[in-house]
Structure 1
Amino acid sequence: MAKSFIAGRRGITGYLEVPERDLLRKLFADVITMLEPDTPAHEDPLAALLGLDMDVSVPSDPALLRLLPDAVKDDAGAALEFRQLTERSLRESKIGALRAASLDLDKDKLVLDPEAAKMWSMALNDVRLVLAERLDIRDETDADRVHRVQDWGDADDVESYLSLVYNFVSWLQESLVQAVLARMKSGR
Structure 2
Amino acid sequence: MAKAFSAGRRGITGYLEPAERDLLRKLFADIITMLEPETPAHEDPLAALIGLDMDVQVPVDPALLRLLPDAVKEDDDAALEFRQLTERSLRETKIGALRAASMALDSEKLVLDPEAAKLWAMALNDIRLVLAERLEIRDEEDAERVHEVQDWGDAEDVDSYLSLVYNFVSWLQESLVQAMLATLQRAK
Which residue number in structure 2 is paired with residue 186 of structure 1?
186
1:32-181 equivalence runs, <5 A: 32-181=32-181
Distance 1:72 1:93 in 2: 20
| TM value normalised by structure 2 | 0.99
Distance 2:40 2:86 in 1: 17
Distance 2:131 2:4 in 1: 21
Give deviations 1:122-153, integer Å, cap 9, x for gaps. Answer: 00000000000000000000000000000000
Instruction: Give the partner amino acid of 2:79.
Output: A
5+ long unaligned stretches in structure 2:
none
CA drift of 1:41 comes to 1.1
Distance 1:65 1:175 in 2: 27
Cα RMSD over matched residues?
Answer: 0.6
Instruction: Give the partner amino acid of 1:148.
Output: E
CA drift of 1:74 comes to 1.4
Instruction: Give the partner amino acid of 1:164.
Output: L
5+ long unaligned stretches in structure 1:
none
The runs of at least 4 consecutive aligned structure 1 residues that moved more than 4 Å come to none
Describe the SS at the equivalent of 1:102: helix
Distance 2:114 2:182 in 1: 12
Describe the SS at the equivalent of 1:6: strand
Distance 1:41 1:127 in 2: 30
Distance 1:124 1:183 in 2: 19
The percent identity for this pair of structures is 82
Distance 1:110 1:146 in 2: 28
CA drift of 1:160 comes to 0.2
Describe the SS at the equivalent of 2:5: strand
| TM value normalised by structure 1 | 0.99
